[in-house]
Amino acid sequence: METEKVRCLIVGSGPAGYTAALYAGRANLSPVLYEGITPGGQLMTTTEVENFPGYPDGVSSFQLMEDLRKQAERFGAEVRRGVVTAADLKNGRPFRVTIDGKQELLAETIIVATGASARYLGLPSESRFMGMGVSGCATCDGFFYRRKKVAVVGGGDTACEDAIYLSALAEKVYLIVRKNYLRASQILQQRVREVANIEVLFEYNTKEVLGDENGVTGALLEKADGSERTIAIDGFFLAIGHHPNTGPFADQLELTDEGYIKTWPDTTETSVRGVFAAGDIQDPCYRQAIVAAGSGCMAALDCERFLMTHGESGGALACSLNQ
């Protein structure tokens, strides 16, 4: 049986992937998008989205992703269930890609939009209250905690930024730090110290997230000497880092020191010609749905230009991004 050929393969179904599919569809690239493990991507871990332009009354994350998918399909994008489990980027175009460990296809171009995942502590109680007070994104969900009490876990730049962001909304913010110092940059540490409603709790680990059928009500914290403390909170925010979902692309594309896919400045081009990266997989900084959607658009335009210039199946020329 002949192996299926795809002009534009899009991997990932977050805002970056769907927007890339929308633009690639309108450019007649006949894009095929594989949804990956979590159709809808990271946004599906939240409930209500209030900061995506075009929805003045907010929108449920499910509805937003459904709208993005339908809009892409309207222009011919084919959205498929499945996970890209292997990809050979080293032997030139077309790239040989394996879906779900069994089915193979040949892709003239690939847009990697596999996102990043917030790290969680791994507590069962944390999973139980996911989307019911537990969140990995302060800028996405902070607005729901106006005049309430929240906690942020972590001692790095993200944790401090999140605590400062939340302090403008919430009545009280606890910053739970496992060491006896913050790892964040001095300027952020200073800002944290200057905000009256942030209380830093050093040398505490979270033992349990507490709650009831309405969501989070508190957290049980523990020190290394075994002493415990309970705090009353409505929201529990994780800021202990993210891990980019580079999967089968990790050892074939140039990555940053933090493991994100490197792209040429102001483009979505990666170290392999014909392979593009969009969304959080190449953005450790902004991590916003609208930014991911914007870079998905860029990736489709870059892809279209690439196909116009290089046509079908040239060689996959590697190009160092350090030049």
- Binding region for ligand NDP (CB under 6 A): 121, 153-159, 161, 178-179, 183, 240-241, 284
Active site includes 137?
yes
Closest CB 167 distance from ligand NDP, rounded Å? 16
For residue 215, the minimal CB distance to ligand NDP (Å) is: 21
Give the H/E segment covering residue 164. Answer: helix 157-167
- Token pair of 121, please? 């502590």
Q: How many CB atoms lie within 10 A of CB 141?
A: 23
157-160, long-range: CB within 8 Å, 24+ apart, which pairs? Answer: 157/183, 157/184, 157/185, 157/188, 158/239, 158/241, 159/184, 159/239, 159/240, 160/184, 160/188, 160/189, 160/191, 160/192
Beta strand pairing call for 149-153 and 78-80: unpaired
Q: Which of 6, 13, 45, 10 is nearest to 242 (CA)?
A: 45
Q: Looking at beta carbons, which residue is closest to ligand NDP?
A: 156
Nearest to 152 by CA among 135, 172, 176: 176
CA distances from 188 to 135, 164, 172 (A): 21, 9, 18
- The least distance separating ligand NDP from the CB of residue 49, rounded to whole angstroms, comes to 21
Closest to ligand NDP by CB, 29 vs 151, is 151
Out of 8, 140, 297, 303, which one is annotated catalytic? 140
Q: Could you say which of 8, 57, 67, 137 is catalytic?
A: 137
Q: Which is nearer to ligand NDP, 183 or 262 (CB)?
A: 183
Minimum CB–partner distance for residue 38 and ligand NDP (Å): 20
Q: 58 or 156: whose CB is closer to ligand NDP? A: 156
Per-residue buried b or exposed e for 252-262, using 16+ beta carbons within 10 Å of the residue's own CB: bbebeeeebbb
Instruction: Indicate which residue of 8, 141, 234, 280 is catalytic.
Output: 141
CA 99 to chain centre: 21
Nearest-approach distance from CB 118 to ligand NDP, in angstroms: 9
Rounded-to-integer distance, Cα 96 and Cα 106, Å: 5
Compare residues 22 and 221 and give the one whose CB is closer to ligand NDP.
Answer: 221
Q: Are 252 and 95 in contact (CB under 8 A)?
A: no
Residue 141 bears catalytic tag: yes
Cis peptide before 53 (omega within 30 of 0): no
Of 156 and 314, nearer to ligand NDP (C-beta) is 156
Of 44 and 121, the one with the shorter C-beta distance to ligand NDP is 121
- The CB-of-300 to ligand NDP minimum distance in angstroms stands at 27
Please identify every residue annotated as catalytic.
Answer: 137, 140-141
